[in-house]
Every structure is written in structure tokens, then in C-alpha cells.
């Protein structure tokens, strides 16, 4: 591809906003690296500062920015795992790598800034034993008196400070190296020499560039328009035997079935004539409907249910006009093939044939909605499963019961219920009158019928 073509393609990429989260000093370093990426990016990249002073503020900082970002970068695997486990991660995300290069930098800073430090007698957290062995072998140091405790999930962090303190008090080490800000602060107040292992600028840039790519994928999937044209091909015999009424009845039935399926992907359906329908959706939803462009959307199911041949053409474009034009050209191509295959066009030289395959079973609704909606779907499914309602029984919960089921704080449980209401998966009920006085608990009915 020529430079001119690359430039043209680049101009079509939507702008991306990436959230930077972590201790303020680290986020400042991330922002400086981000500025370099912004200056040389032709696509439009913006970085938002989500720095905090204490780990307890991480969720609050993220939630303030979540509606403004397309991707996120966390300071390390700990906060990333906390966001995932706490159900407050809403966009594609990555974290800064803490590997050998970060350890090299920390050891060098220690040798330059701490008197009488013995780098062969240190305690190290978060890194694996293999990373430590490799780093020390590169600089020719023995690891016999180097103590390591790896990161093995969020619960392992609670033991880091005690690990370093025990080694120091027993005179096994001269320095503690940690990746956790709170551990550094605790050890420092106890008079234990400590340095924090921080990612190198090179690894920061790599992580930010990865986040930009993730964000671009999100934006393109969410914002690039796609249309699916569905054309009925009634046979001459059936048309002659049944007349116009049969054709109109067939059109109504087709419209109903398309509306039912479009509801799951947030799409709209327009009836152009008794035989032609246009479904408007996004490129991301189209990718899932076609199972990564391996089957034609609706083709197998509609043909089997209606009993007549159906042609399907899909098209994508930067504007509604372009997407529609591509879809209409594609469906004409499918008609020429008598509906035996669907066709996809995106305005380039690429033409993709999409076979009907088996009688198509469309992806579940939870796989086709937005990341925020998908998370709400997962939350209500988990709560409903734990409640174990009998057939036909309504599921009614409150903040305390949700927090208990999901094993989160009441504050997070309250936020989860708010998300379910916003996603249309829960209804707030009128507060029940309290017999013992005081403020009655707000209850919510889960709309579990929408899970089907």
C-alpha cells in the first residue's frame, strides 16, 4: 500500500481517547509518553489523566472517566484484576508490564542513590522467579540471597509488606523492591529501605500504543455504519397461485422476524417494499452476526422459516449513504446467485461471499450488545442464578442482597443496580412501608424474562 493510501485510510480512523490510571507520578510519566504518541499520530489520539493518591480512589477515578474513554491503561496487573473482578471495567484495557527491564532500572537507581546497598541481598515482590533470575544473570549477580514473592492475584498483594518486613528484620536483606505504592509507603514509615519498581518509558509507550489500537477497534466497531439488505425472491408459481395478498402477508412476516432479530443488536429495520428490507446496525454487530464474515446474516433462518428464497447483501461505509449503496449492490449480487450465498461489500475491491451454512442460529443477545450492556447482562444472570427462583417466580433484590451475592461492597452493589436499571434489566419497586420505622429499603425486580 502506498503512503498516500495509508494516509487516506488513516484519515478515516475515528479519534480515540485513552484513560491513564495509576499513582499520580506514574500517570504523569504516562501522559508525557502519550504526548509523543499524540504528536505523531495522524488519527487523533487523546489521553485523559486518571491519577490518584491512594489505591482506594482507583474505582472512583475510573468511573468518572468511563463514559469519555475508548480504552484504558492501568499501572499493573493488580489494579487491572481489581477492575475486572469488581465489574467496573467497561472498555478494552491493558496494563504496564513489570518485567526484567523495570527491574534493571530499579537496581540501577538503587546502586546510585542508596549507600552501602547490596543488590545481591534484596527482597522483590510482584515479579516471577524466572524474571528475577533472568535479570540477575544478565548483570552477573548471584540470586542465592535474593528473595522473591510473585503476584498471584489481588489477594496476594496483602502479604507483600509483611514479606519484605520479615526479611529486613531478620537481616536477610538490605533493600526492598516493590511495585505497589501502598507497600512502599508502609515500609518507608517503618524505616525500611525501599524503592518502587516502575515501568521503563519504553514499556510505557508500548502499553499506550497497544491501548490506542484497542481503542481504535472499539471506535470502528461502535461507529462505522453497516447495513444489511434482505430481498425476498418469491417463485413464479407461488406468486401466481396466491396473488398480491400472499406477497403482502409474506412481507409482514419477514418484517416481524427481522424486527425481532434486530432488537438483539440494537439495529433498526426499514421496509423499502414488499420484498426489500434494510437493517441498519454497526460494523461490530455485523461482524458478530456473520461470525467473523463466515456466514450470511439471516439467510439460512429466513429461507427456512419463510419457505421462499432470500437474498442477503451486507455493506459497510463511513456514511449511511455509502453503507446503503454497498448493501444494495451486494444484495443484487446475491439475487443473481438466487440467494444461494450472501455477499458483503465495503466500498473497496474486497467482495466476500457468505454461505448460509446450517440453518443459522443467531448469537445470543449478550454477545451483541455494548460492553456496558453486556456487563449488565452478566450481572443480572449471576444474581438470578444465585437467587434460584422457581418457574414463573419474580426475582426481587435490594442493595444488601446484591452485595452479598456478588461479594462486593454495598456501594458497588448500589452501582450495579443502577446499571441494571439503565440497561432495562431491572425495575425499581415502590418502597415498602417500614413497620419498624426508619427509611424503607429500595427494592428492585429483575427482568429475568429478557434473558431468554
Residue 226: phi and psi, rounded to 5, are -140, 145
- pLDDT reported for residue 51: 96
Angle (CA) 229-230-232 rounded to 5° is 145
Distances in Å between the Cα of 123 and the Cα atoms of 74, 105, 107, 126 are: 24, 16, 12, 11
Asked if residue 13 has pLDDT above 60, the reply is no
- Cell match 514499556: residue? 203
pLDDT tens per residue, range 348-385? 767 899 988 654 444 444 443 455 566 777 788 888 88
Q: How far apart are CA 377 and CA 146, in angstroms?
A: 47
CB 209 within 8 A of CB 37: yes
58-79 mean pLDDT: 92
Asked if residue 273 has pLDDT above 90, the reply is no
Asked if residue 43 has pLDDT above 70, the reply is no
Where residue 229 falls among pLDDT bands split at 50, 70, 90? very high
Task: Indicate the CATH number for domain 3-96+201-220.
Answer: 3.40.50.2300
Asked if residue 11 has pLDDT above 90, the reply is no
What are the cell numbers at 340?
444461494
Write out the chain in H/E/C secondary structure: CCHHHHHHHHHHCCCEEEEEEEEHHHHHHHHHHHHHHHHHCCCCEEEEEEEECCHHHHHHHHHHHHHHCCEEEECCHHHHHHHHHCCCCCCCEEECCCCHHHHHHHHHHHHHHCCCCCCCCEEEEECCHHHHHHHHHHCCCCCCCCEEEECCCHHHHHHHHHHHHHHHHCCCCCEEEECCHHHHHHHHHCCCCEEECCCCHHHHHHHHHHHHHHHHHHHHHHHCEEEEEEEECCCHHHHHHHHHHHHHHHHHHHHHHHHHHHHHHCCEEEECCCCEEEEEEEHHHHHHHCCCCCCCCCHHHHHHHHCCCEEEEEEEECCHHHHHHHHHHHHHHHHHCCCCCEEEECCCCCEEEECCCCCCCCCCHHHCCCHHHHHHHHHHHHHHHHHCCCCCCCEEEEHHHHHHHHCCCHHHHHHHHHHHHHCCCEEECCCCCCCCCCCCCCEEEECHHHHC
Asked if residue 266 has pLDDT above 80, the reply is no
Asked if residue 326 has pLDDT above 50, the reply is yes
- pLDDT reported for residue 333: 93
The neighbour count for residue 13, using CB atoms within 10 Å, is 16
Nearest to 41 by CA among 216, 223, 225, 221: 216
Asked if residue 314 has pLDDT above 90, the reply is yes
Looking at domain 370-451, does it have CATH number 3.40.50.2300?
no
Instruction: Give percent above pLDDT 90 in the chain.
Output: 37
Looking at domain 100-196, does it have CATH number 3.40.50.10660?
yes
Looking at domain 224-362, does it have CATH number 3.90.320.10?
no
- pLDDT reported for residue 367: 44
Q: How far apart are CA 221 and CA 74, in angstroms?
A: 23
111-122 mean pLDDT: 92
3-96+201-220 and 100-196 agree in CATH topology: yes
Burial of 145 (0-12, 13-18, 19+ CB in 10 A): middle
- pLDDT reported for residue 321: 81
Burial of 72 (0-12, 13-18, 19+ CB in 10 A): buried
What are the cell numbers at 6?
495509508
Q: Confirm whether pTM is higher than 0.85.
A: no
Distances in Å between the Cα of 170 and the Cα atoms of 72, 115, 354 are: 41, 20, 68
The neighbour count for residue 25, using CB atoms within 10 Å, is 12
Q: How far apart are CA 129 and CA 135, in angstroms?
A: 10
Where residue 242 falls among pLDDT bands split at 50, 70, 90? very low
CB 323 within 8 A of CB 226: yes
- The better pLDDT of the pair 397, 41 is held by 397
Q: In sequence order, which residues have a C-beta less than 8 Å from that of residue 28 and are 6 or more positions away? A: 51
Asked if residue 216 has pLDDT above 80, the reply is no
Domain parsing of the chain, residue ranges: 3-96+201-220, 100-196, 224-362, 370-451
183-202 mean pLDDT: 93
Where residue 335 falls among pLDDT bands split at 50, 70, 90? very high
Amino acid at each position: 500500500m502506498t503512503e498516500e493510501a495509508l494516509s487516506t485510510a488513516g484519515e478515516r480512523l475515528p479519534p480515540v481517547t485513552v484513560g491513564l490510571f495509576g499513582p499520580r507520578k506514574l500517570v504523569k510519566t504516562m501522559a508525557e509518553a502519550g504526548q509523543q504518541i499524540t504528536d505523531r499520530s495522524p488519527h487523533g489520539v487523546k489521553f485523559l489523566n486518571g491519577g490518584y493518591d491512594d489505591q482506594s480512589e482507583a474505582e472512583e477515578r475510573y468511573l468518572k472517566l468511563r463514559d469519555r474513554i475508548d480504552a484504558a491503561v492501568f499501572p499493573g496487573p493488580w489494579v487491572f484484576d481489581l477492575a475486572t473482578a469488581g465489574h467496573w471495567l467497561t472498555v478494552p484495557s491493558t496494563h504496564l508490564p513489570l518485567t526484567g527491564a523495570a527491574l534493571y532500572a530499579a537496581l540501577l537507581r538503587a546502586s546510585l542513590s542508596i549507600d552501602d546497598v547490596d543488590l545481591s541481598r534484596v527482597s522483590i515482590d510482584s515479579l516471577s522467579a524466572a524474571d528475577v533470575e533472568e535479570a540477575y544473570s544478565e548483570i552477573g549477580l548471584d540470586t542465592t540471597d535474593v528473595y522473591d514473592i510473585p503476584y498471584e492475584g489481588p489477594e496476594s498483594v496483602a502479604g507483600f509488606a509483611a514479606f519484605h518486613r520479615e526479611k529486613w528484620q531478620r537481616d536477610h536483606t538490605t533493600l526492598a523492591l516493590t511495585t505497589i505504592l501502598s507497600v512502599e509507603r508502609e515500609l518507608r514509615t517503618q524505616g525500611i529501605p525501599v524503592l518502587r519498581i516502575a515501568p521503563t518509558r519504553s514499556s510505557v509507550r508500548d502499553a499506550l500504543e497497544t491501548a490506542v489500537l484497542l481503542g481504535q477497534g472499539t471506535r470502528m466497531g461502535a461507529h462505522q455504519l453497516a447495513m444489511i439488505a434482505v430481498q425476498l425472491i418469491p417463485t413464479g408459481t407461488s406468486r401466481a397461485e396466491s396473488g398480491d395478498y400472499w406477497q403482502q402477508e409474506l412481507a409482514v412476516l419477514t418484517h416481524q422476524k427481522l424486527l425481532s432479530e434486530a432488537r438483539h443488536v440494537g439495529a433498526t429495520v426499514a421496509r423499502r417494499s414488499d420484498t426489500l428490507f434494510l437493517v441498519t446496525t454497526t460494523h461490530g454487530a455485523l461482524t458478530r452476526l456473520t461470525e467473523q464474515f463466515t456466514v450470511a446474516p439471516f439467510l439460512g433462518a429466513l429461507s427456512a422459516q419463510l419457505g421462499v428464497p432470500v437474498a442477503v447483501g451486507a455493506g459497510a461505509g463511513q456514511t449511511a449513504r455509502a453503507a446503503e449503496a454497498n448493501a444494495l449492490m451486494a444484495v443484487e449480487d446475491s439475487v443473481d446467485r438466487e440467494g444461494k450465498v450472501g455477499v458483503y461489500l465495503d466500498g473497496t475491491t474486497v467482495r466476500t461471499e457468505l454461505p448460509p451454512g446450517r440453518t443459522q442460529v443467531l448469537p445470543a443477545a449478550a454477545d451483541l450488545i455494548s460492553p456496558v450492556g453486556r456487563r449488565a447482562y452478566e450481572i443480572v444472570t449471576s444474581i438470578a442464578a444465585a437467587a434460584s427462583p422457581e418457574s414463573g417466580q419474580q426475582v426481587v433484590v435490594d442493595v444488601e442482597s446484591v452485595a452479598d451475592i456478588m461479594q462486593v461492597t454495598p456501594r458497588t452493589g448500589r452501582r450495579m443496580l443502577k446499571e441494571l436499571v439503565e440497561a432495562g434489566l431491572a425495575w425499581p419497586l415502590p418502597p415498602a412501608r417500614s413497620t419498624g420505622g426508619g427509611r424503607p429499603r429500595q427494592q428492585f425486580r429483575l427482568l429475568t424474562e429478557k434473558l431468554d
